[in-house]
């Protein structure tokens, strides 16, 4: 699967977003090292802190099905803006894809970041 296709999957996943509080839809599409695809969307809650971001939804789906080796993740905002992953999601990415690539869209163009560029000094044990 190409990065462009992965981004299309992320955009499609944003369509499933449950975000009545922020009205900000996010979708993510994740590829494992084996090439399995997982998608996710943000899922909000009336108790705001219970909200789960799109990236973590996709990552938790993969890990909960036995896939811990993750290769790359595309993230898309439903409104076409650039959805930079939040700090919590970056920390979760560090756990399962420390060498991974984050694919975003900036001004309509696909851009690729190493996770270590977005989180240069992440916490590890």
Selected from 6, 9, 32, 42, the binder of ligand THU by CB under 6 A is 42
DSSP bridge partners of 11:
none
Rounded to a whole number of angstroms, the CA Rg of the chain reads 13
What are the φ and ψ backbone dihedral angles of 98, each rounded to 5 degrees?
-60, -25
Establish whether 55 is a catalytic residue: yes
CA distances to 60, 68, 84 from 102, rounded to whole Å, are 16, 16, 9
Among residues 67 and 91, whose Cβ is nearest to ligand THU?
91
Q: How far is the CB of 103 from ligand THU (least distance, A)?
A: 13
Among residues 31 and 83, whose Cβ is nearest to ligand THU?
83
Among residues 35 and 120, whose Cβ is nearest to ligand THU?
120
Instruction: Mark 47-66 with x for binding to ligand THU (rule: CB under 6 A) and - for no binding.
Output: ----x-xxx-----------
74 closest CA partner among 54, 95, 99 = 54
């Amino acid at each position: 699967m190409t990065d462009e296709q992965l981004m299309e999957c992320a955009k499609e996943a944003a369509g499933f977003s449950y975000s009545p509080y922020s009205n900000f839809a996010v979708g993510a599409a994740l590829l494992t090292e084996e090439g399995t695809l997982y998608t996710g969307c943000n899922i909000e809650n009336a108790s705001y802190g219970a909200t789960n971001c799109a990236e973590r939804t996709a990552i938790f789906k993969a890990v909960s099905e036995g896939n811990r080796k993750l290769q790359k993740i595309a993230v898309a905002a439903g409104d076409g803006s650039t959805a930079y992953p939040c700090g919590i999601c970056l920390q979760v990415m560090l756990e399962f894809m420390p060498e991974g690539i984050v694919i975003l869209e900036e001004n309509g163009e696909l851009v690729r970041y190493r996770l270590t560029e977005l989180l240069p000094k992440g916490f590890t044990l």
